[in-house]
Amino acid sequence: MRYYTKTDEWVKVEGDKATIGLSTHAVEELGDIVFIDLPSVGDKFDKGEAFGAVESVKAASDIYMPIGGTVVAINEALNDSPELLNQNPLEQYLIEIEGFDVSELADLKKE
């Protein structure tokens, strides 16, 4: 199950790992995505903190942590082909995290 933030990120928890991505609505609003600025593996962020940015042709938008955690993987495919995010925003995660607290999901909207 995905949980959504008010700023249009989603988080999907599977065991002790969680993936974070952008909602279909957010991606449609952005239009053509040309660059995604992702953090490095090992970076740690709190819930609500900006962890990167997604850039359409026109503008850069910060992306925020739905829940806090430590980055254990980034979706490398998006570095070379950010347009994959336009094609299928729910299949393309941005980062994978560990070390989160599931109670932080409480204020998010279930899909």
Q: Which residues make up the interface to other proteins (CB under 8 A)?
A: 29, 31-32, 34-35, 37, 53, 55-60, 62
C-alpha to C-alpha distance for 45 and 64, rounded to whole angstroms: 9
- For residue 61, the minimal CB distance to other proteins (Å) is 11
**Shortest separation between residue 17's beta carbon and other proteins, angstroms:** 26
Q: What is the DSSP letter of 100?
A: -
Q: Which is nearer to other proteins, 16 or 81 (CB)?
A: 81
83 vs 32: CA distance, rounded Å: 7
* 18 versus 78: smaller Cβ distance to other proteins: 78
DSSP state of 24: H
Smaller CB separation from other proteins, 39 or 68 = 39
Between vectors from CA 52 to CA 110 and to CA 87, what angle results, nearest 5°? 65
